[in-house]
Amino acid sequence: MQLRMAPAADGCCHHSQSSKELRGKILKAFLYDSKHKSFQDLKDGAFSIKDHLKDHKNVDATVKELKIAAKPDFSVFIEEDMREIQRISDQLQRKPINNVINAFRYLRTACPNSTFVDHLARVTFQNHPASRNVPLPAPHQIMPFTFFKRGKVVAAQRSIPGVDNLVLELTDPNKMLQDGDILPTSAKFDKERRIAWWREDLGMLTHHYNWHIAYPYPPKQPRDRQGELFGYMHEQMLARYDFERIAVGLNRVQPYGPGFGWDKPLVEGFNSQLAMCSVRGANSNLSSSNTYYIGKGVPNTISLDDMKRYKDRISSAIAVGFLYKDAQNKVMLDLKDGMNHLGNTMQANQGSVNKTLYGNLHNNGHVILGRINDPSGMYQIPPGPMNYDQAAPRDPVFFRWHKFIDNLFEEHRSNLPYQNVQDLVFDGISIESFSVKLEPSEDDKEKLEKSKVFSETENHFYTHMENKWYKIYNSNATEEGGDSDYSSASVSQKALNHIPFSYEIKVKNDNKHEQNIVFRIFLAPEIDEGGPLDHSRTMFVELDKFVVSVKKGTKTIKRQDNQSSVILNPQPTVEDIATKDGPLRGDCMCGWPLNLLVPRGTAAGMRGNIYVMASDWNKDGQDPYSGMEGSASYCGKQGAKYPDKRPMGFPFDRLVVNRDGSSPVGTLGEFVEAVPNSFSEKVTITFLDKWPIQEKREDAKRASRQRDRQKGE
Amino acid sequence: MATAVDAKKGGLKDNYNSCHQHKQSNASKELNKQILRAFLHDPKHKSFDKGHKGERFRCKDEKDVNEFVKEFEIDDIPHFSVFQEDHVGEAHEIAVQMSRQPIEQVIDAFAYLRTCYPSSPYIEHLSRVTFMEHPRTRECLLPPPEQTMPYSYFRENSMMWGLTKKGEDAMVVMGTNKKHHRKMNILPTNAKFDKERCLSWWREDLGLLNHFYNWHLSYPYPPNPPRDRQGELFAYMHQQMLARYDFERLSRGLPRVVPYGPGYGWNKPLKEGFNPKLKFSSARPANLSLGSENYSFAKTSTEELEKFKDRIQFAIARGFLYDKNEVKVKMTMNNLGNTILANEGSINKTLYGNVHNHGHLIIANANDPSGMYNMAPGPMHEDQTSPRDPVFYRWHKFIDQLFEEHRFTMDPHKAKDLQFSGVELENLNVKLEPEDYHKKKVDKPLDTKNHFYTYREGKKYDVYNTNKDQEAIKVKTQSMDHIPYSFNMKAKNKNRGDVMVCFRVFLVPETDEPLDDWRNMFVELDKFVESFKGGETKEINRSDKDSSVIAARRAKFEDIKDGKSNSATQNNCGCGWPLNLLIPRGTKQGMRGQIFVLASDWMQDGENPQEHLHGSWSYCGLKDRKSKYPDQRPMGYPFDRLIVDKKGKPMRDLETLVDNMDNSCKTDVNITFLGAWDDENKKQKDDKKEKNDDKKEKKDEKKE
């Protein structure tokens, strides 16, 4: 019964040794090339790709053959756009890789900041047989205008010696230079601004972007348990968001959707300060227009009434326990597959049980909220962030909309048979102790000393803000000494991080034989709402899930935070791809960022509970001989089934009742008492608000350049 | 410049010529060239040769700052608005101080500021006010604002096209290339199914925008004391804009403008959205409701404004306003206008508020009243952009509605009071006078009598301050124009004595509605004075270019630079209706209208009957701050109020009015729109040809 452990560095993707040469070529397909031959004899700079397609000489042959033209306002939430992606990508995947690379080099230079081209390129390279395991550059480096505020990119360009700042000022609104643009998104008295740093975290945005590339909406067939994962991944985002909201003194997210207040004005306005998005004023009225233009498909409009109707149908399907597949057949919403069917139907992917009947609730909600400024497209006002998967989580209304979606899932969860504590007991296994150990690096120790924080080393998380520097491409800035063909600039952004820690679990196996045990670790804020545990059920945040085989007797298990099954392993940067030898990971790049693994907490110390449960991996595991590698918890495994057969979020996926089968479990303490193979511990999360981050801009840049040089050497 | 008219010589024309000959001296021409420096951003400016990196620029923090800028603590005002009292107050204060300084240093200071803030509306406003105020530059010509501040006048994307055509890298220019591929953005502002779009060419006409911008520069809101009859002119100028806009709306099958303001539906959502596509303005979604919270720019709320409006209406009804000492002040057009405009002539600002300006600010900031989301205000915020927005006209229709209330309280004109005994007009007609250029463009025979023809053509503008160097880029826009014409009529003076006759010419769309309902549709085309000897009969011939409403040809930036600017004796205020919009567009089939001319006694009407009048005095008064409005009659006379017949009943129609009075005449006219005279058409045809060629090629390929 030995567990087959995959090598730690390799992750889920057993990639071939992608040659450095191919890697470099594919990288170039993501970079704007100012010397591209097709654009050299362009008479005037004013360029339209449609005109170019008519041109026989200069246009790339593949692009011309497939008639690829960038779609403005492309959105993954619009079915028509996704079908177009699929049509082109399917054909590209049958072409020789060199032709594909050339096509994308052409497209990238023609439309350097098109979200359509970026999405298409990623889907194509991830699925093309020759490039399936080749690492792709991080989206925020390639698409700076969609991941960084415009003011920041402009400031980055401006800070480069040799670039005349006056040019940039002239070509940019002078208001871009105002402090407000570099500050968090909204002015001080907007309370949603308090957690703008979280909503605008690059890791979180990249996770959401890549999740939507990996788990597509039509016309592809859905992946294994896609619908359920759709529900779970977003539920976890909400749980984490709520955790952060409580820490900064905000209430939990309120749902906003049909039947949940969207007839009334939307209180939260939002200014994303992204180049491609328009601003939504406060108290925008969704119901001021009844029809919303949703693209070229049929029908090309959706009304708020339609949305209400679809929601009512789904809601009543949940109540009666089945969805109608067609005139004769029903699909039961049972414990095993119910969440999945429901999720597929709401995401309206190809797995939707009946799209005609249940509509396209989730995606159309995004489009409607994205188009709130100009429902009919009459004024050509660009859409808001909700239209784009890269930008949607920046907007507070994203979470309100997903809370509405999650409420529908909750309706279903509350219909499921209760989870009896008895069934959770893993015979012969008990957890004797469980704790979190702080493992500060030397640097951290020094800073802790400096900031005079008394640090507890047990059951105490410490978080702090730090300044991160990112190299960006395709922004037309040339950094000193950089490659002039592919110019780059540096942008800084503040991000949360925590002092590294590990879990220590002492587990006792009373059985005679060795057991493969899966440990499920959760974190929840301490609340005194009273009432049963179920009230805070959706507040439990998954921190980790891992499998260990334990022989008879007692074993102490140690697990590092950066091994977590929810987080994304460090990905190669553009510079790595361009310069590093040897194998590089080529993951799907979906996964929670390590720096947001632990919520921020408060300066005074926020109290929470950490919870672990051991269960039998021989029963739970899809393949009991392999564990949960990579960021499997939120992203599954590429090309394989979801590794854990239990409902996602188990054991907090539904109501847990006491042995008598009717009374809900009261507290976490009662829960642990009834289930000896689980354990909970009180923890404190302290936010080190005086952590030294005030590096001077220039110093930091110099430092980062030096670091780069050293690395290079 | 006022010269006595020697009536015996009938020498108006001579004097007119002498005015033309009044040239700028060489010295002032040199100075005029110097001024241009203050309007151009200078990448090689010595204070910036080390470059300026990163953080927001502040004059205060700079070492190399210009000493004047430092002394007067001048810094940019973000989101500057002439409708904001603080902003205008500050600009005025600085301008007054600056105008006492030596001119070279003032120019230096502005050259510095312009380099810091190349496209700031505030610096633009401040420099214009200063140069108009400064004794040495009062007579100088200022470059047209669309050339020095192009981002406020041209759509972002036409600017982008201009820049890329000049060879700038599209990436730098766009920041993001997304819009680069959307031709849509260069089309008129709104998509096709927005019915307001069909008049965007009119609302976005550069001449009109310039007129409006310059009007607000020369007729300031505080702290200057108001000019002569400023309040009345405020009402009249906007009423005329509305009349012209309504004329254009009728020709496109749109209803007349509906008012929007307190008590006129502004508690309900504003139907019209608008996307100006300008760099500095934000778009407004359709059906936006005005929030009831405090507006940070106007520092007031919609309900407050409603209260002020009620007080003004009450004052109109009672016929007097209360001043600060509770003394009653008679209600006149001028007092009412000053009070609504809330300039220094307002009778009581505490009591009657600041309705007109605050309405602008509230509507402009409806998207983000508290400034919570750092949103740029909409086009209604600034004087150079507000006439682009359809809601501008709805707001001013509301303002005009208040003036109408007052007009109703006045005693009507009796037909006999309008008469000028002994003077008779007849044979009024409009004669088309096409130039060779027009003859070339039109292939069909034109009707030369009583027929206006309009056409649209592309125009190119050289604009500055867009780029890292001081070179201009070319930006294209479309504008309407008409084939030149002249009025001809016969005027008889049967009196024994000499008379001076003022001819008031109006254009109105044909209607069968009662005259008074159509009263504020009368568009002033011209107003001019002729002197007659006793018993003299004259053939009057008056060209469109001489009209009293239009602005003289504006000196362009290049003209000033080359010293060619002396050919026009223009007011440097630059205000006046654009010649190209003098005649409304009409329709392709021909829209029917009427021209009406009234002769009145200038010896009675004229403020100073001997004064020679030229330039755009109808809408702008005269250039000199202290001079009086030349015409003593109420502005818009005789259509400033109800006209009644002998029995005291409202005059039925224009026909009866003319029948009742010998000193008037009318003629029916047609206005035909000839379509676009443009290279665009050719291009489209070429495109079609290309397409056809493509198809042919494809067919050929198939055959092969």
Query: What is the DSSP pairing of strand B413-414 with strand B643-644?
Result: parallel
Residues A272-328: tens digit of each pLDDT: 888 788 889 888 888 777 788 877 666 788 899 999 999 999 999 999 999 999 888
Residue of A nearest to B156 (CA): A171
Q: How close B367 gets to chain A, by Cα (Å)?
A: 5
**Mean local confidence (pLDDT), A259-263:** 89
Residues A412-448: tens digit of each pLDDT: 999 999 999 999 999 999 999 999 999 998 888 888 8
- Which candidate from B180, B282, B374 shows the least CB-CB separation from A47? B180
Report CB contact under 8 Å: B165, A45. Answer: yes
- Which candidate from A153, A158, A173 shows the least CB-CB separation from B53? A158
Report CB contact under 8 Å: B277, A282. Answer: no
- Which candidate from A172, A187, A270 shows the least CB-CB separation from B371? A187
At B49, the pLDDT band (50, 70, 90 cuts) reads: low
Q: How close A276 gets to chain B, by Cα (Å)?
A: 8
A275 close to A225: Cβ distance less than 8 angstroms: no
Report CB contact under 8 Å: B291, A282. Answer: yes
**Mean local confidence (pLDDT), B482-489:** 94
- Which candidate from A165, A174, A279 shows the least CB-CB separation from B51? A165
Residues A658-694: tens digit of each pLDDT: 998 888 998 899 999 999 999 999 999 999 887 776 5
At A172, the pLDDT band (50, 70, 90 cuts) reads: very low
pLDDT higher than 80, residue A343 = yes
pLDDT at B318: 95
CA end-to-end distance (rounded Å), chain B: 80
**Cβ-Cβ contacts under 8 Å for A72 (sequence gap 6 or more):** B178, B181, B182
- Which candidate from A145, A278, A380 shows the least CB-CB separation from B176? A145
B243 close to B521: Cβ distance less than 8 angstroms: yes
pLDDT higher than 90, residue B472 = no
- Which candidate from B172, B285, B375 shows the least CB-CB separation from A171? B172
B541 close to B488: Cβ distance less than 8 angstroms: yes
**Cβ-Cβ contacts under 8 Å for B105 (sequence gap 6 or more):** B68
Most B CBs within 10 Å: which of A40, A164, A273, A379, as the mutation test of the B interface? A379
More confident site: B85 or B157: B85
**Mean local confidence (pLDDT), B387-400:** 96
Report CB contact under 8 Å: A167, B368. Answer: no
B277 contacts in chain A (CB < 8 Å): 380
Most A CBs within 10 Å: which of B50, B181, B274, B687, as the mutation test of the A interface? B181
pLDDT at B407: 94
**Mean local confidence (pLDDT), A138-164:** 71
Q: How close B91 gets to chain A, by Cα (Å)?
A: 19
Interface A-B: count of C-beta contacts within 8 A: 221
pLDDT at B459: 87
Report CB contact under 8 Å: A34, B169. Answer: yes
Backbone angles phi, psi at B487, to 5 degrees: -90, 140
> Pick from B188, B181, B196: which is nearest to B676 by CA?
B188
Whole-complex ipTM: 0.79
**Cβ-Cβ contacts under 8 Å for A530 (sequence gap 6 or more):** none
Q: How close A398 gets to chain B, by Cα (Å)?
A: 17
Report CB contact under 8 Å: B78, A173. Answer: no
**Mean local confidence (pLDDT), A159-182:** 39
Residues B660-677: tens digit of each pLDDT: 899 999 999 999 999 888
Which pTM was predicted?
0.85
A479 close to A488: Cβ distance less than 8 angstroms: yes
At A698, the pLDDT band (50, 70, 90 cuts) reads: very low
pLDDT higher than 70, residue B567 = no
B254 close to A253: Cβ distance less than 8 angstroms: no
Residue the block writes with tokens 């047209």: B144
Report CB contact under 8 Å: B283, A374. Answer: yes
- Which candidate from A154, A177, A281 shows the least CB-CB separation from B368? A281
- Which candidate from B79, B368, B467 shows the least CB-CB separation from A269? B368
Report CB contact under 8 Å: A54, B168. Answer: no
pLDDT higher than 80, residue B72 = yes
At A636, the pLDDT band (50, 70, 90 cuts) reads: confident
Report CB contact under 8 Å: A375, B286. Answer: yes
Q: How close B572 gets to chain A, by Cα (Å)?
A: 28
Report CB contact under 8 Å: B178, A381. Answer: no
Residue of A nearest to B365 (CA): A281
Q: How close B358 gets to chain A, by Cα (Å)?
A: 20
A187 contacts in chain B (CB < 8 Å): 371-374
DSSP notation for B375-414: PPP-GGGSTTTGGGSHHHHHHHHHHHHHHHHHHHHSPPEE
Report CB contact under 8 Å: A175, B275. Answer: no
C-alpha Rg value of chain A to the nearest Å: 26
At A239, the pLDDT band (50, 70, 90 cuts) reads: very high
At B174, the pLDDT band (50, 70, 90 cuts) reads: very low
Sheet holding B485-493, edge to edge: B423-432, B485-493, B537-543
- Which candidate from B289, B373, B467 shows the least CB-CB separation from A170? B467
Report CB contact under 8 Å: A111, B180. Answer: yes
Query: What is the DSSP pairing of strand B320-322 with strand B328-330?
Result: antiparallel
pLDDT higher than 60, residue B181 = no
User: If 0-12 CB within 10 Å is exposed, 13-18 middle and 19+ buried, where does residue A661 land?
Assistant: exposed
pLDDT higher than 90, residue A476 = no
pLDDT at B180: 37
pLDDT at A188: 56
Residues A346-398: tens digit of each pLDDT: 999 989 999 999 999 999 999 999 999 888 888 888 889 999 999 999 999 99
Most B CBs within 10 Å: which of A158, A166, A487, as the mutation test of the B interface? A166
Q: How close A42 gets to chain B, by Cα (Å)?
A: 10
Residue of A nearest to B366 (CA): A281
Report CB contact under 8 Å: B165, A189. Answer: no
Residues B183-198: tens digit of each pLDDT: 334 444 445 678 888 8
At A2, the pLDDT band (50, 70, 90 cuts) reads: low
pLDDT at B332: 95
Residue of B nearest to A170 (CA): B466
User: If 0-12 CB within 10 Å is exposed, 13-18 middle and 19+ buried, where does residue A505 land?
Assistant: buried
Report CB contact under 8 Å: B372, A44. Answer: no
pLDDT at A550: 94
Lowest model confidence (mean pLDDT) among A70-74, A153-157, B164-168, B331-335: B164-168
At B699, the pLDDT band (50, 70, 90 cuts) reads: low
Q: How close B653 gets to chain A, by Cα (Å)?
A: 41
pLDDT at B8: 38
**Cβ-Cβ contacts under 8 Å for A461 (sequence gap 6 or more):** A436, A438, A498, A499, A501, A598, A601, A683, A684, A685, A686
**Mean local confidence (pLDDT), A495-523:** 94
Residues A187-198: tens digit of each pLDDT: 557 788 888 899
